[in-house]
Structures are given as structure tokens and as C-alpha cells.
């Protein structure tokens, strides 16, 4: 892990944990925003960057600021974090943005940074759903805010959408999604709401739609999104041609991605590593310089790869699997593959194995059969 020079595409994820308030369904590592804590954390990120640069860093094809709420960084902080990095000339640099923060001055300031792709936490275009999700923005403000970003020069904007809320129906899902599909977005990520048993929303678990009802919502969501001109390229992700998230494709294709910040997880030269989800522990590893702490074993790389690859519409390439791991993917799996083929859950053209349409909503259990 000491030799950092390599030839394959390389991404960088930067975790910004601050949030103005906590949303009950959120599973990410977040912290209440404070100016002082945020400034201290920023210095740690700069320190992590300097240590990474000292080790040698090859060209970055993508950078992704995720959180948390990365849009709480100032434009100057974003530029400072990116300055001195070996960015590819066409690097995709994404910032997750809380819609409530979008104003004309925010958009214009951000445009002066190298950020060229925005991911908006829209989640729904129904106010009752936004309230339930504890989001502060309101649906009626969204078209205007997206326009401000466009006018500032951003032409690669993604929106997140959440379906499967308690007591939701296919009809209510459609009314929350349809106005979102009419926005000038290049990319949409559609996620199923998951409520953790230890979250404040736990009492609502009993109100969640049945699996059959959720499957109906998923396939209707998929149909509407495709009809609106977005191509599905991953189970939950849809893009206009050429606007697929290059950063997320790095994960799904098993390419390398470095990770900075508390709780951030990276994949590097066959190892998955995670920084601690704790600010004090993160500060300790930055000070010690042990940037690749908490590694998974090399053996975990194959299940991770299978899980990620099969999420993609293009599926898993048998020849690429062999080149990468020196193993025949079919070996020890052919009986399962035949069963899944008979059940109509996978397609196998001799070179690529991919999930069938019928398997998309139950992808985790289908993929688990092949791990």
C-alpha cells in the first residue's frame, strides 16, 4: 500500500460530515454543524491531502464531495482542497448540495471552483414527503433553484429521489416523481427508503408498503424515468446519454478510489479500507499518517466485485473477471447460474452475466446466490 503510482483510473471521495439538522432515515456518519468543529476538520482534510501528496498521487479522474452536507464548505475551502491535486483535464468533480442552500450567490461562488457536477438531495416533489423526511426545502422552490444553478453555468446536475415511504402507494410515488423528471437534470438516483430499527422513524416500519407494493413502485418508477429519456445503467441510477456518474462507475466497476475524511471508505490496489467514523479517531490516523487503516482482507475483494458489477446493467464480464482474479467465474457457480437462468433472473450471453428485469428489485438476494 506504500507505492501509490499506478496506471488505472483513480477516484477520490471526500467526506464532509456536517449537517444543519439530522434526518431521521439517514445512515451516514454525520455531525451537527459548528463553525469551529468544521474549521478543525477542514485542517485535518488538508493534512490528509498533504500526506497523500507526499506519498505520490497519480492522476485523478474523479473527485466526489459527499456527506453529510459538503455544500456547507465555502467555495474557497473547496478550491483549497482541490488545489495541487493531479486532476485529469476532464476530471468529473461532484459536490452533493442541500437544495435549501441554493441561492444566486451560492451558485456563482461555486461556479468559480473546479466543481463541474452537482448532486442535489431533492428526495421528493411532494411537500408532505419532504416534511416526513425532515428535509427543509419545499417542492415549489426546486425548479427556480435548479435554474439558478443552470444560469451559473452548471450543466451536469443529478437529483436524488426516495420512494417507498410509509403508507405510500404507486400513485403517490408517481406524483412525487413526475415533477422531478420535468426538471433539467442529467442524472437521477432513485433509492428505496430504509428505516433502521434504532432510528427515530422506527415506529413507522409497520407502515411501510409490502414487498409486492414496493416492487410495483420500483418498476413504475423505472418505467417513468426511462420514458422521460433517462437510461438505466445501474439498479438505482438513470442518466441521459453520456451523463452517467463516472465516480460511481469507478466503485461499481471495481476501480480504485481513495477516501479522505471520517468514515470514508476507499478501495485501493485490491484492498478496501475505511477511516473511523469518529472525529477524534480520524484525527489520530491523520496525525499518525496511517491513511489506509482498517483494511478488509484481499479475499473480500471478489464478493465486493461481484456485488458491484452485477448491479450494473452491463453486468459482469467473464473475461474481465478472469483477467482480474485469475479465476473462472463459472467454476463452483454453474449450478446456481443454471438455476437462476431457468428462473428468468439472470441473462447469460456467454461473455456477460447480467440481472434480468425481473431480478432488479430483488437484486440482493439474487446476487447473494452467486457470492
CB of 38 to ligand SF4, least distance (A): 14
Cis geometry, peptide bond prior to residue 176 (ω within 30 degrees of 0): no
Looking at beta carbons only, is 61 or 98 nearer to ligand SF4? 98
What b/e sequence results for 219-236 when a residue is b if at least 16 CB atoms lie within 10 Å of its CB, and e otherwise? Answer: ebbbebbeebebebbbbb
CB of 20 to ligand SF4, least distance (A): 7
How far is it, in rounded angstroms, from Cα 202 to Cα 223? 30
> Where in 25-44 is the site for ligand SF4 (CB under 6 A)?
26, 28, 30
Looking at beta carbons only, is 176 or 306 nearer to ligand SF4? 176
Q: Note whether 71 and 18 are within 8 A (CB).
A: no
Residue number, nearest CB to ligand SF4: 26
CB of 127 to ligand SF4, least distance (A): 17
Looking at beta carbons only, is 30 or 248 nearer to ligand SF4? 30
Indicate which single residue of 11, 99, 121, 164 sits in contact with ligand SF4 (rule: CB under 6 A).
121
CB of 352 to ligand SF4, least distance (A): 35
Instruction: Report if residue 217 touches ligand SF4, rule: CB under 6 A.
Output: no
Strands 10-16, 60-67: pairing is parallel
Looking at beta carbons only, is 23 or 249 nearer to ligand SF4? 23
Site string for ligand SF4, 90-119 (x = CB under 6 A): --------x---------------------
Per-residue DSSP letters for 293-355?
A: -SBPPGGGHHHHHHHHHTTBTT-EEHHHHHHHHSS-TTTTTHHHHHHHHHTTSEEE-SSEEEE
What residue ranges in the chain does DSSP mark as E strands? Answer: 10-16, 18-19, 31-32, 60-67, 87-97, 117-123, 157-163, 187-192, 231-234, 237-239, 256-260, 265-268, 271-274, 316-317, 346-348, 352-355
> Where in 41-70 is the site for ligand SF4 (CB under 6 A)?
67-69
Looking at beta carbons only, is 4 or 204 nearer to ligand SF4? 204
How far is it, in rounded angstroms, from Cα 29 to Cα 329? 35
Indicate which single residue of 8, 22, 43, 223 sits in contact with ligand SF4 (rule: CB under 6 A).
22
For residue 42, how many other CB atoms are within 10 A of its CB? Answer: 16
Indicate which single residue of 10, 14, 16, 19 sits in contact with ligand SF4 (rule: CB under 6 A).
19
Looking at beta carbons only, is 26 or 152 nearer to ligand SF4? 26
C-alpha cell at 89: 483535464
Cβ neighbours of residue 200 closer than 8 Å, sequence gap 6 or more: 24
Looking at beta carbons only, is 32 or 39 nearer to ligand SF4? 32
Contact positions toward ligand SF4, by CB under 6 A? 19, 22-23, 26, 28, 30, 67-69, 98, 121
Amino acid at each position: 500500500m506504500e507505492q501509490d503510482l499506478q496506471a488505472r483510473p483513480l477516484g477520490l471521495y471526500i467526506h464532509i460530515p456536517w449537517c444543519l439538522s439530522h434526518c431521521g432515515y439517514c445512515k451516514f456518519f454525520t455531525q451537527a454543524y459548528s463553525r469551529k468543529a468544521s474549521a478543525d476538520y477542514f485542517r485535518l482534510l488538508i493534512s490528509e491531502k498533504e500526506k497523500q501528496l507526499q506519498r505520490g498521487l497519480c492522476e485523478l479522474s474523479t473527485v466526489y464531495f459527499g456527506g453529510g452536507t459538503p455544500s456547507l464548505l465555502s467555495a474557497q475551502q473547496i478550491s483549497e482542497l482541490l488545489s495541487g491535486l493531479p486532476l485529469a483535464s476532464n476530471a468529473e468533480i461532484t459536490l452533493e448540495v442541500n437544495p435549501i442552500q441554493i441561492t444566486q450567490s451560492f451558485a456563482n461562488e461555486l461556479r468559480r471552483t473546479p466543481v463541474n457536477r452537482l448532486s442535489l438531495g431533492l428526495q421528493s416533489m411532494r411537500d408532505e414527503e419532504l416534511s416526513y423526511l425532515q428535509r427543509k426545502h419545499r417542492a415549489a422552490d426546486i425548479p427556480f433553484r435548479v435554474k439558478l444553478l443552470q444560469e451559473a453555468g452548471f450543466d451536469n446536475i443529478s437529483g436524488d429521489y426516495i420512494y417507498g415511504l410509509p403508507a405510500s402507494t404507486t400513485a403517490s410515488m408517481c406524483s412525487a416523481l413526475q415533477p422531478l423528471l420535468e426538471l433539467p437534470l442529467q442524472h437521477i438516483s432513485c433509492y428505496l427508503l430504509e428505516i433502521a430499527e434504532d432510528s427515530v422513524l422506527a415506529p413507522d416500519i409497520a407502515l411501510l408498503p409490502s414487498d409486492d407494493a414496493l416492487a410495483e413502485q420500483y418498476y413504475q418508477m423505472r418505467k417513468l424515468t426511462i420514458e422521460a429519456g433517462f437510461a438505466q445503467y445501474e439498479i438505482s441510477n438513470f442518466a441521459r446519454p453520456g451523463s452517467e456518474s463516472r465516480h460511481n462507475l469507478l466503485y461499481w466497476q471495481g476501480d480504485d478510489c481513495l477516501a479522505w475524511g471520517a468514515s470514508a471508505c476507499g478501495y485501493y490496489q485490491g484492498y478496501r479500507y475505511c477511516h473511523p467514523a469518529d472525529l477524534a479517531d480520524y484525527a489520530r490516523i491523520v496525525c499518525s499518517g496511517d491513511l489506509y487503516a482498517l483494511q478488509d482482507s484481499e479475499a473480500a475483494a471478489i464478493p465486493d466485485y461481484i456485488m458491484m458489477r452485477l448491479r450494473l446493467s452491463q453486468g459482469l464480464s467473464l473475461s474481465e473477471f478472469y483477467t482480474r482474479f485469475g479465476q473462472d467465474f463459472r467454476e463452483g457457480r454453474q449450478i446456481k447460474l443454471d438455476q437462476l437462468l431457468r428462473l428468468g433472473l439472470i441473462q447469460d450471453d456467454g461473455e456477460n452475466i447480467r440481472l434480468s428485469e425481473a431480478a432488479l428489485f430483488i437484486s440482493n438476494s439474487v446476487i447473494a446466490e452467486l457470492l
